[in-house]
Structure 1
């Protein structure tokens, strides 16, 4: 398949990934302020909570801001944003695996990290 045809064929998938990894971090980040979707503090490794110099709620607000920024970066610079979101999701998964809590969420986050990484790689050729 010719390079231009391949780019055209992959473009709809790339756009879907871009909107997924742009919007979802923004929504999850905003929810850190409201806890409408879930009580996000339950996912913090208890060892980490004990090491924080501030409350778990403050930590989640900081996490929320980082997620919002990451989502915005995906929309502006998809390749860079994809790598940021991928690393962020992998880090979340690792903290869950270390505490061996919410292993199902950790696995899901690792799959999403791989997807975000794939989007970042594709961005070089499609964006």
Structure 2
């Protein structure tokens, strides 16, 4: 059981570490998508900067969150989980890309599960 548990923990750790880093880096290149499309008109109107500059700030935050997952997994997983919920809520409130919001909520649950797995010692659990 311990081997399987460690495998799951490591898969989740590297997934929730690497994916935010890649998404964050892409905020500077827009190779995967034009990230500014995910900003609603209402949100864009209150930003103190251009939409592309805002997405670069978001990218830096995502890169930092991914690095924290890789170095301090428990706290990083909670950060990524909260970040994904915040993104999902923003999309839901603007009623744009609701499918992406649902996906982000599912990923937030996965990140929360990683934090929970990292927290608990399952070595005492019977097989």
Residue 125 of structure 2 corresponds to none
Structure 2: 5+ residue stretches without partners: 122-127
| TM-superposed deviation, 1:125 | 3.2
1:69-116, Cα deviation, whole Å (9 max, x unpaired): 000000010000000000000000000000111111000000000000
Residue 108 of structure 2 corresponds to 113
RMSD: 1.0
Q: Provide the TM-score with structure 2 as the length reference.
A: 0.92
Matches within 5 A, 1:33-112: 33-112=28-107
Q: Provide the TM-score with structure 1 as the length reference.
A: 0.92
1:5-24, Cα deviation, whole Å (9 max, x unpaired): 4x433110110000000000
Distance 1:25 1:121 in 2: 19
Structure 1 ranges of 4+ moved more than 4 A: none
Which among 3, 6, 18 is matched to residue 23 of structure 1? 18
Q: Report the count of equivalent residues.
A: 121
Distance 1:76 1:55 in 2: 32
2:4 is the alignment partner of 1:9: yes
1:8-44, Cα deviation, whole Å (9 max, x unpaired): 3311011000000000000000000000000000001
Structure 1: 5+ residue stretches without partners: none
